[in-house]
């Protein structure tokens, strides 16, 4: 069962969960691997992001069609918000509720390691079950505590019809190596114990999950593309492989002392939309 918490008016005013709610969230992530916090991101911000990301989806699909189709699973696009000051909001990237949960689980010096997202298009295919991050020591017989969290922010409602994510509760505690995804035999064995769940979210919600949790994208049966923003927060003992690029001017929103943004600010143009797909095509051409 999905733990869903709607903070009280006082918690919203304080921009922090009560200790009772915080401990409930931590317990849910430790046990099931995920939870949902309701209505903790302002709609006015999400309206701005939704309009821009919807327009970007059209441009991205035009690029993919002109270059032979999507190099990823059919209908599932890698797409994040623009890393520009008019679209970068602390209420999203360093949401106070997400930061509070993160610091409780990962420690005070956690950092941002990923900022992007995905778009589920009408007619998309069922993805294979996979993990977004590996176990630190996959050969161990027990799983280590959580070291990375995915924070998903829906710019608009994410419903069963438009492809709400499928999650497999508790699977972040199953160690192993999952290169290429989770084998069907493991899925059937797991299903005997615990069935997967579809997790719906509304505009304003946060879905917080362990990066190792088994999951997959499902078909979008609606007539509209559905975007999802994603951040990954990582414990300080993990290596920083690269800095995240934002346009100069984003410092005012991000460097406010609440979190290690692991960011680089540049005056150069950032090809945030088409760049990832261009890299994929280049990689495929070199095979």
pTM of this structure = 0.94
**For the chain, what are the domain ranges?**
4-285
Q: Quick one: pLDDT at residue 46? A: 98
Structure confidence at residue 33 as a pLDDT band (50, 70, 90): very high
Q: Quick one: pLDDT at residue 64? A: 87
Closest to 143 in 3D by CA, of 171, 175, 168: 175
79 versus 283: which is more confidently predicted? 79
Structure confidence at residue 285 as a pLDDT band (50, 70, 90): very low
Please write the tens of the pLDDT for every residue from 221-253. 999 999 999 999 999 999 888 899 999 999 999
Q: Quick one: pLDDT at residue 282? A: 54
Q: Quick one: pLDDT at residue 227? A: 98
Percent of the chain predicted with pLDDT > 70: 94
Do β-strands 111-120 and 197-198 pair in parallel, antiparallel, or remain unpaired? unpaired
Give the Cα separation of 111 and 262 in Å (integer). Answer: 6
Contact criterion met (CB below 8 Å) for 78 and 63: no
283 versus 69: which is more confidently predicted? 69
Quick check: 72 pLDDT over 60?
Answer: no
Please write the tens of the pLDDT for every residue from 253-279. 999 988 999 999 999 999 999 887 766
Give the Cα separation of 71 and 53 in Å (integer). Answer: 20
Quick check: 287 pLDDT over 70?
Answer: no
Cα three-residue angle 201-151-78, rounded to 5 degrees: 85
Task: Starting at the earlier edge strand, list the strands of the sheet with 166-167.
Answer: 197-198, 166-167, 215-216
- The topology under which CATH files domain 4-285 is Jelly Rolls (2.60.120)
Give the Cα separation of 17 and 177 in Å (integer). Answer: 35
Quick check: 44 pLDDT over 60?
Answer: yes
């Amino acid at each position: 069962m999905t733990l869903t918490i709607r903070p009280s008016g006082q918690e919203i005013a304080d921009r922090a969960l009560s200790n009772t709610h915080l401990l409930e969230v931590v317990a849910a992530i430790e046990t099931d691997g995920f939870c949902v916090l309701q209505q903790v991101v302002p709609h006015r911000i999400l309206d701005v992001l939704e309009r821009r990301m919807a327009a970007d989806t059209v441009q991205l699909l035009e690029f993919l069609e002109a270059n032979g189709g999507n190099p990823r699973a059919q209908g599932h696009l890698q797409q994040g918000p623009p890393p520009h000051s008019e679209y970068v909001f602390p209420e999203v990237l360093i949401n106070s509720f997400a930061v509070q949960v993160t610091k409780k689980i990962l420690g005070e010096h956690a950092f941002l390691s990923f900022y992007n997202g995905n778009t589920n298009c009408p007619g998309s295919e069922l993805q294979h079950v996979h993990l977004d991050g590996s176990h630190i020591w996959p050969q161990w017989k027990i799983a280590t505590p959580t070291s990375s969290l995915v924070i998903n922010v829906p710019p608009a409602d994410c419903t069963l019809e438009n492809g709400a994510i499928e999650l497999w509760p508790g699977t972040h505690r199953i160690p192993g190596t999952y290169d290429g995804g989770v084998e069907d035999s493991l899925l059937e064995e797991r299903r005997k114990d615990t069935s997967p769940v579809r997790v719906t979210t509304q505009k304003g919600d946060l879905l917080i999950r362990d990066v190792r949790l088994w999951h997959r994208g499902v078909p979008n049966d609606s007539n509209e593309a559905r975007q999802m923003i994603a951040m990954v927060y990582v414990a300080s003992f993990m290596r920083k492989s690269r800095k995240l690029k934002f346009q100069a001017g984003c410092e005012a929103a991000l460097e406010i002392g609440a979190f290690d943004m692991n960011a680089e600010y540049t005056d150069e143009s950032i090809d945030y939309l088409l760049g990832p797909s261009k890299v994929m095509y280049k990689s495929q051409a070199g095979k």
